[in-house]
């Protein structure tokens, strides 16, 4: 066991099974309401879950890669709310749990990404994160009309002949992360001074312009939002292959991966560490979380029967990039313990059914992990007005080191360099 593991929940519609909206405990009529999202996140928070991620895309769920239409299926959930706005809406209704919306980099301006997430960090008092997502889908590009992507299948994208397309996609995402981090640093911590005697609200010398000129965009100027409570929000992303592993190693704090068994759980960790070495990552290592799609019942027989029922309603077996586990809480604890021992810092669980599997995770799984010494639900506390109470931010909850401001560090280094030996002795 390498230390306290973190537990995250990936929230998607009525659940990750396409037929989850037809489950007897589902609330399909509430999918477009704040009430449902409030209840889901509060349940996760009360159970000691460390953070939730909220899925998003510019396309409808299940839409074809090449078209923006809804496809031929009419028996799956269609339509979604904006993940960042959901997180913003539930932020004042919660107090401890981290909120990590999905924000796509491919068509979203870096300035908007930075300021929106900074705002969420302020309104949540330091509990915001970012799940980076890139998209090569031509249908998404068509919604914006500024660029085009070839209509290729997953297999074609994996062909070496098209390797440059994937490389460009993730290189662009890397530039977005770099610029967003620059903008988060553009205001130093003490830039807002509110000095009544002099009438100065800000110290202009402590607000810095981000100067970036790249292949896909340029950004000149500072953020309009003061430095977020966390300084740098935790940056996370899902990765399945070399290019996103390297993107994560270049700019993320947490990477979600999808091992299928013990052997792949080991090999994927090795691949991530190799990616860190290739890009020359310095400082803290990437925190690696394994994604698991879970359906939980009191017995494996009941769990299997519940999955078979949903598969029957959907007309085909559930297929996912993550391993699908129809199991019990005790067996899932055993799996998490085993993979934690391999070196996984945490796990992002995808509930097959919402709210049914989320409730079991919050009320049974997390307490079982606490009892086993694998997790600590008491970790973290209510944040203060500024969102910086001890162990109150998402960075603190995830065990990430404080994020110094690059401009403050440079200024202090320059000031130190101007001090003469006599001044030091004095």
Domains of the chain, by residue range, sit at 6-425
Q: Which residues of 90-125 are buried (b: 16+ CB within 10 A; e: fewer)?
A: bbeebbbbbbbbbbbbbebebbebbbbbbbbbbbbb
197 CA to centre of own chain: 43
End-to-end CA distance of the chain: 51
**CATH, domain range 6-425:** 3.20.20.30
pLDDT reported for residue 334: 98
Query: Is residue 196 classed exposed, middle or buried when 0-12, 13-18 and 19+ CB atoms within 10 A define those classes?
Result: exposed
pLDDT digits (tens, 9 = 90+) for 225-280: 999 999 999 999 999 999 999 999 999 999 999 999 999 999 999 999 999 999 99
Instruction: Record the tokens describing residue 117, joined without a space.
Output: 């997430």
CA 396/CA 126 separation, integer angstroms: 10
pLDDT digits (tens, 9 = 90+) for 165-205: 889 999 999 999 999 999 999 999 999 999 999 999 999 99
Instruction: Record the tokens describing residue 162, joined without a space.
Output: 């098209």
CA 294/CA 280 separation, integer angstroms: 35
> Any bridge partners for residue 126, and if so which?
none
Q: Report yes or no on whether pTM surpasses 0.85.
A: yes
Instruction: Record the tokens describing residue 26, joined without a space.
Output: 């589902």
CA 93/CA 88 separation, integer angstroms: 10
CA 268/CA 143 separation, integer angstroms: 35
Give me the average pLDDT of each 10-residue run along the chain (426 residues): 82 96 94 96 98 93 53 76 97 97 94 98 98 90 85 73 85 97 96 93 94 94 97 97 96 98 98 98 96 98 98 96 98 98 98 98 98 86 40 90 91 70 52
The candidate with the shortest Cα–Cα distance to 174, out of 228, 223, 105, 109, is: 105
């Amino acid at each position: 066991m390498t230390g306290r593991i973190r537990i995250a929940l990936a929230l998607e519609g009525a659940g990750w099974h396409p037929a989850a909206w037809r489950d007897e405990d589902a609330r399909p009529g509430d999918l477009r309401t704040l009430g449902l999202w409030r209840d889901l996140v509060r349940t996760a928070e009360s159970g000691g879950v460390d953070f939730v991620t909220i899925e998003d895309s510019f396309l409808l769920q299940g839409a074809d890669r090449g078209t923006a239409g809804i496809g031929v299926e009419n028996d799956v959930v269609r339509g979604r709310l904006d993940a960042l706005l959901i997180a913003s809406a539930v932020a004042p209704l919660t107090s401890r749990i981290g909120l990590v919306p999905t924000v796509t980099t491919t068509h979203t301006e870096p300035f908007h990404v930075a300021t929106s997430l900074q705002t969420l960090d302020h309104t949540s008092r330091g509990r915001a994160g970012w799940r980076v997502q890139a998209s090569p889908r031509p249908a998404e590009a068509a919604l914006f009309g500024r660029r085009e992507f070839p209509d290729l299948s997953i297999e074609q994208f994996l062909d070496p002949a098209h390797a440059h397309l994937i490389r460009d996609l993730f290189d662009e995402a890397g530039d977005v992360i770099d610029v967003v981090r620059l903008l988060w640093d553009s205001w130093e911590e003490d830039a807002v001074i509110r000095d009544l005697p002099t009438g100065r609200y800000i110290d202009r010398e402590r607000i810095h312009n981000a100067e970036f000129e790249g292949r896909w965009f340029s950004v000149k100027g500072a953020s309009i939002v003061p430095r977020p409570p966390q300084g740098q929000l935790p940056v996370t992303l899902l990765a399945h292959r070399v290019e996103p592993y390297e993107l994560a190693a270049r700019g993320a704090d947490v990477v979600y991966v999808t091992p299928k068994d013990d052997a792949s759980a080991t090999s994927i960790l090795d691949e991530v560490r190799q990616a860190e070495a290739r890009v020359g990552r310095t400082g803290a290592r990437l925190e690696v979380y394994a994604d698991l799609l879970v359906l939980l019942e009191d017995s494996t027989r009941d769990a299997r029967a519940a999955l078979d029922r949903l598969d029957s309603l959907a007309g085909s077996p559930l297929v996912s990039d993550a391993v699908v586990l129809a199991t019990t809480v005790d067996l899932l604890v055993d799996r998490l313990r085993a993979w934690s021992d391999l070196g996984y810092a945490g796990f992002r669980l995808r509930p097959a059914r919402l709210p049914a599997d989320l409730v079991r995770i919050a009320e049974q799984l997390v307490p079982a992990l606490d009892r086993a010494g694998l997790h600590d639900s008491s970790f973290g506390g209510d944040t203060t007005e500024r969102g910086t109470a001890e162990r109150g931010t998402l960075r603190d909850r995830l065990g990430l080191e404080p994020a110094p401001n690059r401009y403050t560090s440079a200024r202090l280094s320059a000031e130190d360099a101007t001090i003469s030996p006599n001044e030091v002795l004095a």
